[in-house]
Structure 1
């Protein structure tokens, strides 16, 4: 019972606390770092198809999890959705979303580790983030295939165990006993997801909690190389600018400052 309490009561609340505290701390101390650090200027061809596939896929996967975990089984049956119909829709829709997510993620990984300019910008935090992102995705697809596709007829009804457990945690009346008979593949998927939530604020994934409301109307981003912001040897000594926003001076206009743009 102590292991169940630790895994299905302690870990969920610790993960949620780490997520909330981390987001608050990151917002208060690192708002300029609250970004996915776009690398579009490094490579566009692969990004053009892999990024939409991954993001749309993961959004549909998330919405499917929310609907499956938070909507009680009795409610769907009350509106005329049978268990067979629900199972068919969940497996079909979830499978398509899962394939989109995995194919998009493979494209993003290939792009990051094959394109040299992007690889050089890859940090240890990025590598940890990718590992912690890949594990729950792979475990989730594996659990679906083992239990819902190739498992017992009708699949495993997680809405009688995992769904009520999640709702009990949210309502502050956790029932760890509901997870005792859940297949190990689902248990590992849930544990990996909770660990990912806990570390999310410390990675570039933090941008998922910001709704890009103003994105369609934002101004264009102007990129300049770092050498473009320095004086030539004939105009004066070369200056090394620090990271961030710096004034850009053209050789023919060395005496005139122009508005600040991204260095």
Structure 2
């Protein structure tokens, strides 16, 4: 029963989540572009939003790309450039820990702001609150994995997670076996991470696809004109 459940959750569930993630995002963009936004409430309690949002987004971006590179880069690449498994484990703990603290503090501010202010709470949907709580719990679980990782500084556990993630992307049928012996906190962390991809197309998280990275390479400045259209203040 345990092997069957492990295969179901970490062998088949990832493909369901990724399929919904990509296809759901595409369908929503095609059919519901009006809802393709973050739904900002920045006019209310702006200072707390600015601090919380900056900490949260900075931390989450570091964590996301850290997981992306750390899990999906072939082990042979790290071996070829001389990065040992133990060193990689320590770097993941240090960098991930700092980013996790920043994201968790930011998420705490955002959650307090959204649930503690009656005006913002009245303008928040159940969906908005649920996804923020999901991300908050996921961050807490991520931080909870650090003490466990400190007991495995040889990097062996990290190799198992890399083998699992790369096995999923390369459609290996036995990928789930690599995480069968992992601590339950790691398993819950993986499960919630996959679930985040599953619910992604149905939440405000879709605005991630519209991140204005092209602003970094654009030419010139944005021209803003006054109401009379000639660039001068009306008399």
Q: CA deviation at 1:206?
A: 1.1
User: Deviation digits for residues 76-112 of structure 1, max 9, x if unmatched?
Assistant: 2321222332222221111110001000101111111
Instruction: Give the stretch that moved more between structures: 77-86 or 13-22.
Output: 77-86
Contact 2:85–2:154 (8 Å) recurs in 1: no
Contact 2:111–2:133 (8 Å) recurs in 1: no
Contact 1:165–1:179 (8 Å) recurs in 2: yes
Q: CA deviation at 1:114?
A: 2.2
Q: CA deviation at 1:162?
A: 1.3
Contact 2:89–2:158 (8 Å) recurs in 1: no
**SS of the residue aligned with 2:21?**
helix
Contact 1:54–1:100 (8 Å) recurs in 2: yes
User: Deviation digits for residues 114-164 of structure 1, max 9, x if unmatched?
Assistant: 22221110111112212221222211111122x123x34x16533321111
Q: CA deviation at 1:35?
A: 0.7
Q: CA deviation at 1:193?
A: 0.8
Contact 2:89–2:155 (8 Å) recurs in 1: no
TM-score by length of 2: 0.84
User: Would you say how many aligned residue pairs link Structure 1 and Structure 2?
Assistant: 217
CA root-mean-square deviation: 2.0
**Any residues of structure 2 matched to 1:1-263 within 5 Å, and which?**
1-145=3-147, 147-149=148-150, 151-152=151-152, 154=153, 157-175=156-174, 176-213=176-213
Contact 1:12–1:194 (8 Å) recurs in 2: yes
Structure 2: distance between partners of 1:161 and 1:49: 36
Structure 2: distance between partners of 1:218 and 1:130: 33
Instruction: Give the stretch that moved more between structures: 84-93 or 198-207.
Output: 84-93
Q: CA deviation at 1:219?
A: 7.4
Gaps of 5+ in 2: 225-235
Which structure ranks higher in relative contact order (CA pairs < 8 Å, sequence separation ≥ 6)?
Answer: 2
Structure 1: distance between partners of 2:126 and 2:61: 26
Structure 1: distance between partners of 2:22 and 2:73: 24
Larger Rg: 1
Structure 2: distance between partners of 1:218 and 1:178: 51
Contact 2:17–2:194 (8 Å) recurs in 1: yes
Contact 1:53–1:104 (8 Å) recurs in 2: yes
Aligned to 1:258: none
Structure 1: distance between partners of 2:179 and 2:223: 49
Contact 2:85–2:155 (8 Å) recurs in 1: no
TM-score by length of 1: 0.76
Give the 3 Å change call, closer, same or farther, for CA 116–23 of structure 1 in structure 2.
same
